[in-house]
C-alpha cells in the first residue's frame, strides 16, 4: 500500500468495530478515537500534524461513526485542500443528523439503515473480499447498535457493547495506542465465544478472565493489582514525557488515571527518582501523592487552594480547561504551576 490510512472513529462498540474492520483489510493504519464536539476537531488536527511529518506522500483520512456539523465538514475540507500532501477524505456514518453534510460533500457517505461497522465492512469487502468470521462480528455489532431486538445476535451484541463501555482500564488520553490495542484484544477474544451455545451468557461469564489474561505478565493476582502493575509499567516507560516539576521536586502528571492511591504509590515505589505523583481530572480536581520526599499538602495549597496530608493531598485547578490530547493537558498544568508555584 503506497498510502497511509488515518482512521478516526467513535469510542463505543460501533466506533471500535469500524476500526476492527479497517485493521482486517489494511496494514498501514493509525487509529484515533473521539466523542462528539470539539474533540473531533482536536483529533482531526492531530491527524493533520501526523501527516505533515509522515514519510508517506499520500494519505487517507477515514472518519466513521461520527457525524460532523456543517461547520466541521467545511473546515475539514478547507484544511485538506491546502495541505502540502495528497489527502483523500472519506466519512462513513449512519446518523441522520449528518444529512446536510452528506448532501453537500461527496466524501460524506450516510446510510441510516446500517450501523457504521456494517457500512465500513460492506464498503471494503466489496473491494477486497468477504470474510465470514469478520462478517459475523459485524452482524453482532449491527444488531445492537441499531437495536434490532428480534435479531438472533442482539443479546450477544449487548454483552459486546458492555465490554467496550466498561473497558476503562487503559487511559485513552494518556495511552491512545495501548487503549486501542486493549479494546481490539477484548473484541478479538470475545469472538471465540460467538459460536458457543448461549454465546451471550458464555461471553458474559468469561469477561473477567479475558481482562485478567490481558494484564497478566509473570504471575496471577487480583484484576485490580494486575491493572495497577500494567499502568505503572506504562507510566514508567513514559515518565520522561510525562514529567513535571514543582520547584526542585520532580513529579509525574497523569490524567483521570483512577485508583490514584494504589497506582500513585506503586509508581513512586518503582521510580524512586520521582518525588510526587499528580493526577488531574476532567472535573478540574487534582490528587497528589508523595513517598515522603515532599509535602504535597503544600503543593496543593499553593497551586490548587487545596491541602490534606504530607503524602496525600488534593485541590481544584479552577483555571484548568479540559482537553483531549495529553500534551495540551500537561502544558496547561505546567503553566499553572509556573504562575502559582
Closest of 75, 64, 67, 74 to residue 32, by C-alpha: 64
Quick one: what percent of the chain has pLDDT higher than 70?
A: 99
Instruction: Give residue 258's pLDDT.
Output: 87
What average pLDDT does range 199-212 have in this prediction? Answer: 98
Residue 272 has pLDDT above 90, yes or no: yes
CATH architecture of residue range(s) 241-340 = Roll (3.10)
CATH number of 4-215: 3.90.1640
pLDDT at 102 over 70: yes
Q: Write down the pLDDT at residue 218.
A: 85
How far apart are the C-alpha atoms of 175 and 265, rounded to whole Å?
20
Distant-in-sequence, close-in-space partners of 316: CB < 8 Å, separation ≥ 6: 284, 285, 286, 304, 305, 306
| Range scoring the smallest mean pLDDT among 1-10, 85-94, 240-249, 309-318 | 1-10
pLDDT confidence tier of residue 341, bands split at 50, 70 and 90? low
pLDDT bracket for residue 1 (50, 70, 90): low
Residue 293 DSSP class: S
Element (H, E) at 290: strand 285-290
In the predicted model, is pLDDT for residue 2 greater than 60?
yes
Residues, the chain: 341
The CA-atom distances, in angstroms, between 186 and each of 17, 241, 294 are: 12, 28, 40
Average confidence (pLDDT) over 255-278: 95
Residue 28 binned pLDDT confidence (cut-offs 50, 70, 90): confident
As given in the structure block, the three cell numbers for residue 337 are: 504551576
- Reported confidence tier of residue 3, pLDDT bands at 50, 70, 90: confident
Parse the chain into domains and list their residue ranges.
4-215, 241-340
Amino acid at each position: 500500500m503506497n498510502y497511509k490510512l488515518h482512521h478516526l472513529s467513535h469510542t463505543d462498540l460501533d466506533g471500535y468495530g469500524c476500526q476492527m474492520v479497517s485493521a482486517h483489510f489494511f496494514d498501514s493504519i493509525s487509529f484515533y478515537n473521539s466523542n462528539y464536539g470539539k474533540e473531533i476537531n482536536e483529533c482531526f488536527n492531530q491527524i493533520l500534524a501526523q501527516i505533515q511529518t509522515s514519510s508517506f506522500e499520500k494519505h487517507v483520512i477515514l472518519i466513521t461513526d461520527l457525524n460532523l456539523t456543517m461547520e466541521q465538514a467545511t473546515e475539514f475540507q478547507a484544511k485538506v485542500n491546502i495541505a502540502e500532501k495528497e489527502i483523500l477524505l472519506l466519512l462513513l456514518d449512519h446518523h441522520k443528523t449528518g444529512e446536510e453534510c452528506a448532501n453537500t460533500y461527496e466524501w460524506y457517505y450516510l446510510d441510516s439503515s446500517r450501523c457504521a461497522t456494517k457500512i465500513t465492512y460492506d464498503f471494503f469487502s466489496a473491494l477486497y473480499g468477504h470474510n465470514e468470521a469478520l462478517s459475523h462480528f459485524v452482524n453482532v455489532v449491527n444488531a445492537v447498535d441499531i437495536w434490532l431486538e428480534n435479531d438472533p445476535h442482539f443479546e450477544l451484541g449487548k454483552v459486546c457493547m458492555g465490554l467496550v463501555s466498561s473497558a476503562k482500564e487503559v487511559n485513552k488520553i494518556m495511552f491512545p495506542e495501548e487503549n486501542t490495542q486493549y479494546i481490539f484484544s477484548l473484541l478479538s477474544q470475545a469472538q471465540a465465544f460467538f459460536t458457543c451455545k448461549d454465546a451471550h451468557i458464555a461471553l458474559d461469564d468469561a469477561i473477567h478472565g479475558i481482562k485478567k489474561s490481558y494484564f497478566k505478565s509473570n504471575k496471577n493476582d487480583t484484576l485490580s493489582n494486575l491493572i495497577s502493575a500494567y499502568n505503572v509499567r506504562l507510566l514508567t516507560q513514559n515518565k520522561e514525557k510525562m514529567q513535571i516539576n514543582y520547584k526542585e521536586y520532580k513529579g509525574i502528571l497523569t490524567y483521570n488515571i483512577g485508583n490514584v492511591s494504589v497506582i500513585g504509590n506503586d509508581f513512586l515505589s518503582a521510580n524512586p527518582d520521582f518525588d510526587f505523583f499528580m493526577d488531574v481530572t476532567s472535573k478540574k480536581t487534582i490528587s497528589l501523592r508523595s513517598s515522603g520526599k515532599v509535602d504535597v499538602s503544600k503543593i496543593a495549597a499553593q497551586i490548587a487552594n487545596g491541602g490534606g496530608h504530607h503524602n496525600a493531598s488534593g485541590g481544584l485547578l479552577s483555571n484548568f480547561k479540559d482537553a483531549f490530547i495529553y500534551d495540551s493537558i500537561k502544558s496547561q498544568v505546567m503553566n499553572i504551576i509556573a504562575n502559582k508555584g
